[in-house]
Amino acid sequence: MKRRDVALAGALLLGALGCRHGASSSGGARRLVSLAPGITDALFEIGAGRELVARSDYCDYPPEVTKLPRAGTSLTPNYEVITRLAPTLILGEAGANARTRELAALGPTLLLPWLTLDEIVAGIRELGRRTETTPAADALAARLKARLDVPAPPHGPRVLLVIGYEPGQISELWFIRDNSLHGAALHAAGASNAVPEAVTGLPRLSLERLLAVDPDAIFILTQPSHAARDYLTPFRALTPLTAVKLDQIVVVEAPEAYVHGPCILALVDKLAAAVKKLKVPS
């Protein structure tokens, strides 16, 4: 039996023995486990963050969430931690490889589609219903929809949003899909996505494909931990690129870009400031 299966079997046994006790000792209070940073962000925004008892391995926003134990992700849950905390609701992002059946065996589970703006708006409204914070959730959903639901500007610069590559080298790039929350943020900032088609698989570009796309500008979304020059140097060697010719390789320090939740609104302002400085090729 694989290690994961042993862990799950043990967690299920503990849950069978202890879930009733956990429910009664909570006095009916909600005990939420969030397995996705964007969902955690949304819960705090609508006033339900105080009901969280665990977070995903990648949740670090807002800062107070870092005090909670880690419980894995919907792809790689920590079954023992989740079971020990006796959650009344396990929350995460839906996906083909999410451990839906295993999580449901541990407690009530809600895995939400969480990629496009419409999916996230609907997900926030559902979180509001599940946590009895409907007015706050509906207001947040409406604010996101109003700010981000705009078409790509027909004559705006073609920007490639890049995230998650190793500083100092380029072999392939992870880019931001147009059909995503970040893609909507780019439109709201006044630019179009250099890869406008909907992408269903992994959003990766080879160097050959990057040269074919030839964006007007490249925005590199980073955490604060690396110097900008570490990201810029390898791009500047790609002299055929229009973005290099126009000196429009831009590092945008944006930790909120890694959350995929309501704090994306802060990213819009940063992107808009960068877009205003761009030159559009004639």
Express each pLDDT in 146-170 by its tens digit: 999 999 998 889 999 998 666 666 7
One fold for both 3-148 and 158-275?
Answer: yes
Superfamily of chain region 158-275: Nitrogenase molybdenum iron protein domain (3.40.50.1980)
**Strand residue runs (E) in 45-165:** 52-54, 89-93, 109-112, 158-163
Instruction: Map out the domains of the chain as residue ranges.
Output: 3-148, 158-275
Specify the pLDDT at position 168: 66
Rounded alpha-carbon distances, angstroms, from residue 93 to 120, 190, 274: 10, 29, 31
Specify the pLDDT at position 233: 84
pTM: 0.83
Instruction: Report the run of H or E that residue 204 belongs to, with start and end.
Output: strand 204-206
C-alpha span between 146 and 144 (Å, rounded):
6
Whole-number percent of the chain with pLDDT over 90: 68
Nearest CA to 220 out of 231, 205, 208 is that of 231
Specify the pLDDT at position 226: 64
C-alpha span between 235 and 1 (Å, rounded):
47
Contacts 24+ apart (CB under 8 A), 45-52: 45/136, 45/140, 45/261, 45/262, 46/124, 46/127, 46/128, 46/131, 46/133, 46/136, 46/137, 46/140, 47/133, 47/136, 48/127, 48/131, 48/133, 51/131
Q: Average pLDDT over the chain, rounded to whole?
A: 87
Q: Classify 3-148 by CATH class.
A: alpha beta
Least confident of 94-98, 122-126, 231-235: 231-235
